[in-house]
A and B are shown apart, each in its own frame.
Chain A
């Protein structure tokens, strides 16, 4: 395949975001609303979107602030929830490592579930391109920031986001990301085993430990299936 020009790859990345735009916007608005409910100022909630840029962790932080959770436990829980980025970073690392530290820092800072999903599915089919990943990541970053602020403004006249069902935007988006990934019996096995593991972890492990537990073991099941088949 011919290597696309930086500008074109960047625009391709931006375009790739459009199918996800609605889900991201809904969830960003839900976060903005919930943050105001928790008593955060418009400044703080925007700052969080710009610095943290992790929907699930931000949503979780706000829920924990509402229930009066100690800060240290909030920090710890967000770290555990975000531990999935360690896996994503490892998975993208084989592509990004040749692009130099500056690019790695930039693309790591902008890494999200959605940008990971789009980037990895593109890189497994096409020549990996840093400008493509930048386009995807930056598109999502800007969209997240803007709709977060809109959510914050909407608080004064809309009320609790829970009633509107906006909190379902995140699982719905992830479902549509996940389902097309499952194409072989091994994928199905990994998905089902991970599902069971996540519930076992949820029931038996403290706080959010089920996330690293199920994600690592589930991936390992896939690795074992690969290895076992080739013997």
Chain B
């Protein structure tokens, strides 16, 4: 089992490195146009939205648009806090606390 897991880890490591290094390698040889740069300026927003939204609306791989979804509740609070305060530590602590309270005391 241990050897198989280590094999899997190395496989994932190689694939992950490839995704990180792929474009760096391609772009080394190519000139980047102004237009391409403007296009790429939207990458951070698109990427982070793609990670966040499904993790709140579908924490278990299926859409859960209900007030029984603790991630959605904590997520909305975190969004409001991030907008108002931009305080990372505070937002993380409040978010985790909300999830903890909902799960442990309210049986979510």
Q: Taking beta carbons and an 8 Å cutoff, which residues of A are in contact with B?
A: 19-23, 26, 39-41, 43-44, 47-48, 51-54, 56-57, 61, 65, 71, 74-75, 78-79, 82-94, 96-97, 101, 104-105, 107-109, 111, 113, 116-117, 120, 124, 162-182, 187, 190-191, 194-195, 197-199, 202-203, 210-211, 214-223, 226-227
- On whether the beta carbons of A44 and B104 are closer than 8 Å, the reply is no
- On whether the beta carbons of A218 and B92 are closer than 8 Å, the reply is no
A-B contact count (CB 8 A): 281
Complexed CA–CA distance, A56 and B49 (Å): 14
Complexed CA–CA distance, A211 and B46 (Å): 10
Complexed CA–CA distance, A2 and B51 (Å): 36
- On whether the beta carbons of B78 and A221 are closer than 8 Å, the reply is no
- On whether the beta carbons of A218 and B75 are closer than 8 Å, the reply is no
Which residues from chain A contact B39 at a C-beta distance below 8 Å?
219-220, 222-223, 226
Which residues from chain B contact A52 at a C-beta distance below 8 Å?
9, 12-13, 16
21 A–B contacts, CB within 8 A, in A order: A22-B92, A23-B89, A40-B5, A48-B12, A61-B12, A75-B8, A87-B46, A93-B26, A165-B95, A165-B96, A168-B74, A173-B88, A173-B92, A174-B48, A176-B88, A176-B91, A181-B45, A203-B63, A218-B46, A218-B50, A226-B35
User: Which residues in window 3-49 of B have CB below 8 A to A?
Assistant: 4-6, 8-13, 15-17, 19-28, 32, 35, 37-49
Contact with A along B45-72 (1 / 0, CB 8 A): 1111111111111100101000000010
Residue from A61, A83, A89, A181 whose CB has the most chain B CB atoms within 10 Å = A89
Contact with A along B73-96 (1 / 0, CB 8 A): 011001100110011110111011
- On whether the beta carbons of A222 and B82 are closer than 8 Å, the reply is no
For residue B106, CB closer than 8 A to chain A, the reply is: no
Interface class of chain B by DSSP: helix
- On whether the beta carbons of B75 and A175 are closer than 8 Å, the reply is yes
Interface class of chain A by DSSP: helix
Tell me the nearest residue of chain A to B75, going by C-beta: A171
Complexed CA–CA distance, A225 and B82 (Å): 26
Other-chain residue from B44, B88, B104 in contact with A181 (beta carbon distance below 8 A): B44
- On whether the beta carbons of A215 and B47 are closer than 8 Å, the reply is yes
Complexed CA–CA distance, A26 and B10 (Å): 25
Which residues from chain A contact B63 at a C-beta distance below 8 Å?
199, 202-203
Given contacts A75-B12, A90-B43, list 15 more A-B pairs with CB under 8 A: A20-B88, A22-B89, A23-B92, A44-B9, A84-B50, A93-B27, A104-B25, A164-B100, A168-B99, A176-B87, A181-B45, A197-B50, A198-B54, A215-B46, A219-B42
Other-chain residue from A44, A211, A218 in contact with B2 (beta carbon distance below 8 A): A44
Which residues from chain A contact B37 at a C-beta distance below 8 Å?
94
Residue from A90, A181, A221 whose CB has the most chain B CB atoms within 10 Å = A90
